[in-house]
């Protein structure tokens, strides 16, 4: 099986590629290192089944492949807010270009969508049939609305060309290979706690996130792409929902850090509660995340300590 992985030098992409290579499949990794890290994929350069192309997916090109795993897009506000027009272009033009590659090859296509498509949800847990509550004009909208239009494009290709589309709505995921201070809460908190620096919290810290360990997510994505379902399907861990304030305390205690929690102003458009309903994943894929936060943090902390 020949696999094209866009955004392969990113956090999730690295773990996906590792599993594909362990399965003796061929991987073509595409990344432009806007938010990905070349160090993440250097471990694969010696593999005869791995090749790398430094490309921008907003430009057109042709590749022969059996499957497209479309992960390319900066997932952290630190990166996608830096150049919001570029972010929107990645989500629309980049997805369109990758769908064209899939169409020409009659390839399976998996879109790494996001829980951000639900916006600041008015229901919890969030189900796949919930259309969301999204501000189209906010600073985060380039990403939220970008992922929504990417999903729309995917379904248009399914209806128009009968393309085998898979839409995975990914909730907060963490684990080794996260970059220090990449703008995501777990890596930021761990990096600062290791250095006994303050842990900065937006608002009062009562906003919640549900944290899924990377190994669980990768297992779910493989079950999904080998299934008959097109989705969308939520991938997250509803049993591991924590307030940001509690998460900061857990990390400080695990590291026995001298860090203090510092609370600042709230961020406009920040979701108050993020918790997936995964009944569809359980029924359709027989998938349920098994790793608790305590287990996942041990591996993530070790990775960030060793950098």
Is residue 257 within 8 A of residue 193, CB to CB? The reply is: yes
DSSP state of 12: H
For residue 61, give every residue at least 6 positions away whose Cβ sits within 8 Å of its Cβ, in sequence order, or none. 55, 97
Active site includes 161?
Answer: no
Q: Is 289 strand, coil or helix?
A: coil
Q: Is 89 strand, coil or helix?
A: helix
Distances (CA, A) of 127 to 117, 270, 273: 12, 19, 13
Report the alpha-carbon distance of residue 233 to residue 220 in Å, rounded: 10
**Gyration radius of the chain over CA positions:** 19
* Active-site pick, 79, 118, 143, 157: 143
* Encoded tokens for 132: 């969301």
DSSP state of 140: T
Residues 46, 304, 205, 207, Cα dihedral to 10° = 20
**Which position has the token pair 């879109």?**
111
Q: Which residues are catalytic?
A: 143
């Amino acid at each position: 099986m020949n696999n094209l992985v866009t955004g392969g030098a990113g956090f999730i992409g690295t773990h996906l590629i590792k599993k594909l290579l362990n399965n003796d499949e061929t991987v073509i990794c595409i990344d432009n290192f806007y938010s990905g890290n070349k160090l993440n994929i250097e471990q694969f350069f010696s593999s005869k089944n791995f090749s790398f192309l430094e490309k921008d997916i907003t430009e057109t090109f042709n590749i022969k492949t059996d499957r497209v795993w479309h992960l390319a897009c900066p997932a952290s506000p630190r990166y996608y807010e830096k150049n919001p027009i570029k972010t929107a272009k990645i989500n629309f033009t980049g997805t369109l270009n990758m769908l064209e590659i899939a169409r020409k090859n009659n390839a399976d296509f998996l879109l790494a969508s996001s829980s951000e498509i639900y916006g600041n949800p008015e229901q919890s847990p969030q189900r796949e049939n919930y259309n969301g509550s999204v501000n189209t004009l906010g600073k985060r909208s380039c990403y939220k609305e970008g992922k929504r239009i990417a999903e729309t494009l995917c379904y248009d290709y399914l209806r128009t060309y009968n393309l085998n589309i898979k839409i995975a709505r990914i909730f907060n995921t963490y684990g080794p290979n996260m970059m220090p201070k990449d703008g995501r809460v777990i890596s930021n908190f761990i990096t600062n706690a290791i250095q006994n620096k303050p842990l900065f919290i937006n608002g009062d810290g009562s906003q919640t996130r549900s944290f899924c360990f990377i190994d669980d997510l990768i297992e779910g994505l493989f079950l999904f792409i080998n299934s008959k379902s097109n989705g969308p399907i939520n991938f997250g861990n509803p049993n591991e929902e924590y307030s940001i304030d509690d998460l900061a305390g857990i990390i400080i205690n695990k590291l026995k850090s001298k860090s203090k929690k510092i609370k600042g102003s709230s961020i406009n458009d920040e979701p108050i509660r993020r918790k997936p309903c995964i009944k569809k994943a359980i029924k359709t894929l027989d998938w349920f995340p098994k790793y608790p936060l305590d287990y996942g943090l041990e591996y993530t902390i070790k990775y960030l300590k060793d950098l």
